[in-house]
Amino acid sequence: MQGLDFSVVAPYVDILLMGTWWTAILTVSAGALSFVGGIIFAVVVLYAPAIVAYPVRLFMWVFMGTPLLLQLFLIYFGLVQIGIDIPALVAGIVGLGLHFAVYNADVLRAGIVAVDFGQTEGARSIGFGKWQTLRYVVIPQAVRNTIPPIGGNMIALLKESAIVSVIGIAELVHSAQLAISETFRPFEFYITAAALYYLLNLVLEAGLRRFERNVEISR
């Protein structure tokens, strides 16, 4: 036992904040990818011809049934195997984004199905095409109605993003590990990292609550 001394953290504050910043960037970009990807997957599964829909369903099924960590390994090392050498950061964003796109698609698919059929009939009756109806009437309503669970997925994404440290992305966990390799003080640095995640989590939750309220008001 060495006893605890949190003052060891002080010289590394810059590095940790840089890591926090990268975690935020990672979360936002993977979050955006997961949202767009979620809509695409949901629409494909519901409306695309079977030859496209079935492979996507299989993909979703596999991604929901396996750990994110394993998926990251596949993307990072798998792409190298087939000759595509992408930076770890891109692999991390794609991995996180695809993983949560599958969860968002699951939510959005239920949301699209739940939009009242009268809405579709109403849009079609004024001359909207099938795609236009989906694009301008059904999907916007489905997205609005599924904001809380999708927000929940975004919060999960923030915390799960810690995992990409294993493929060497310089985010928050990785920057803590860097400091630990020099100081041999894992407890202090991991607790500090935890506190920073907790703060990011609070900020994201508050942001989502505010967004939900605004959407609620604009109804």
Partner 1 sequence: MDFSLMQRVFPFFVEAAFVTIEITALALVLGLVAAALAAAAKMSRSAPLRTIGTLYVSLFRGTPCLIQLFVLYFGGPQVGINLEPFAAGVIGLGLNIGAYMAESIRGALVAVDRGQIEAARTIGFSRFQTLRKVVLPQAARLMIRPLGVNTVALLKGSALVSTISVVELTYTAQRFIGSTYKPFEIFGIAALLYMIMVYAVARVVDMLDKRFAIV
Q: Is 165 in the site for partner 1 (CB under 8 A)?
A: yes
Candidates 74-82, 107-115, 142-150, 210-218: pick the segment binding partner 1 (CB under 8 A): 74-82
CB of 141 to partner 1, least distance (A): 26
Q: Is 162 in the site for partner 1 (CB under 8 A)?
A: yes
Binder of partner 1 out of 54, 187, 206, 213 (CB under 8 A): 187
Residue 142: its H or E element: helix 139-145
Measured between alpha carbons, how far is 22 from 27 in angstroms, rounded to an integer?
8
Nearer to partner 1, 150 or 193 (CB): 193
Total residues in contact with partner 1, by rule CB under 8 A: 40
- With contact defined as beta carbons under 8 Å apart, do 94 and 33 qualify? yes
Orientation angle between helical segments 88-114 and 68-81, nearest 10 degrees: 130
Binder of partner 1 out of 81, 125, 214, 218 (CB under 8 A): 81
Q: Is 3 left (phi over 0), alpha (psi -120 to 50) or beta?
A: left
Q: Is 181 in the site for partner 1 (CB under 8 A)?
A: no
Nearer to partner 1, 48 or 194 (CB): 194
Tell me whether residue 107 is exposed, middle or buried, using C-beta atoms within 10 angstroms of its C-beta: 0 to 12, 13 to 18, 19 or more.
Answer: buried
Binder of partner 1 out of 9, 98, 154, 180 (CB under 8 A): 180
Q: Is 21 in the site for partner 1 (CB under 8 A)?
A: no
Q: Is 171 in the site for partner 1 (CB under 8 A)?
A: no
- With contact defined as beta carbons under 8 Å apart, do 170 and 19 qualify? yes
Largest CA distance in the chain: 75
- Distances in Å between the Cα of 190 and the Cα atoms of 73, 112, 154, 206 are 24, 41, 22, 24
Q: What residues make contact with partner 1 under the rule CB under 8 A?
A: 1-4, 61-62, 64-70, 73-74, 77-78, 80-81, 159-163, 165-166, 173, 180, 185-188, 190-191, 193-194, 197-198, 201-202
